[in-house]
A and B are shown apart, each in its own frame.
Chain A
Amino acid sequence: MAEVKLDCMYETCPIPLLKAHKKLQTMKVGDILIMETNHTCSITNVIEWAKKQGYDADYIEIREGEWEIYIEKVK
């Protein structure tokens, strides 16, 4: 039940998504991925993708234009 951090600051589309995919494959079921990103598209792009894969996902804004995305590997 670990929390894994992933730094995606200053990355352009679609690198955050691909990085998240790579990281999630190494994680165990029940782990939560915490992505930090400042790319405006990621909060729609990554969340939509994660939900489509069947993961739980949500985000909050931590600073102006910077977000933390949470993805729980449920299966």
Chain B
Amino acid sequence: MASNRIEELKKRRQREIKKKKSQVPVGVTFLIFALIIYAIFLATDFKSSMFWIIGLLFGIVLQRARFCFAASFRDPILVGNTSILKAVIIGLIIMTIGFGIIQFISIGDSQDFDIENIPGYISKVGMHTVIGAILFGTGMVIAGGCVSGTLIRIGEGFILQIVVLVGLIIGSLISAKYIQFWDKCIISKTHVVYIPRYIGFSKAIIGQSILLLLIYFLADLYHKRNNIMK
């Protein structure tokens, strides 16, 4: 509950403000437009319709919850707040279980499976991951938003984020053009490390969930203990 003085200030300002225009009709128009596209996709290509509807929902959830991956990394460092990081970890735990079950069903018990056929996002790990992550993390903080945050803010009307999008395209092209150098000295020597291959599915799912829970509680502790700015 805010103090009396803030309540007073709020009331005073509320009287000074002109009535706001409702943007709901425009919003509903766009919603209908989005649903028409969904219907067209549904009639022609089920997979595309799925990407479309889930993409819309991703956008809505990210915007409504003010969900910002950049902040989940930045705020613990800058101000000692881990509430977004904790929310990300909750999502990761849900997905660990969900993805684990889906992957298990799709490849079954067999020990020799082709990594390419496993549903999910699996890639080589090595020094290039480290360098890429550091560059990405730095860029994310100075641009004021990660990739998903950039898209969400374009939807909210930020012109700056369109510039970030242009930067993303330029950066992707530069990276892809000169990837040969990295491929020669790092990437080609690295391998995919798919955890269930080494320890099995049940251990991977349970182990990773426990690890994430542990990180969650550590983040919680850090949040309560920490007030870096003081």
Contacts and interface: CB of A to CB of B under 8 A. Distances in A.
Interface of A: 3, 12-15, 17-18, 21, 32, 34, 40-41, 43-45, 48-49, 52-53, 56-58, 60-65, 68, 70, 72, 74
Contacts of B160: 12
B17 A62 contact: yes
Interface residues of B, number: 34
Interface string B142-167: 00110000000100111010000000
Interface in B57-84: 63, 66, 68, 70-71, 74-75, 78-79, 81, 83
B20 interface: yes
Contacts of B131: none
Given A12-B160, A62-B13, A72 B83 contact: no
Contacts of A74: 3
A74 B7 CA distance: 15
A14 B66 contact: no
B189 interface: no
B229 interface: yes
Contacts of B68: 13, 41
Contact of A58 (B6, B21, B83, B145): B6
A44 B66 contact: yes
Contact of B6 (A48, A49, A72): A72
B29 interface: no
13 contacts: A12-B145, A12-B158, A13-B71, A13-B144, A13-B145, A14-B75, A32-B5, A32-B6, A56-B2, A58-B7, A60-B14, A65-B156, A65-B157
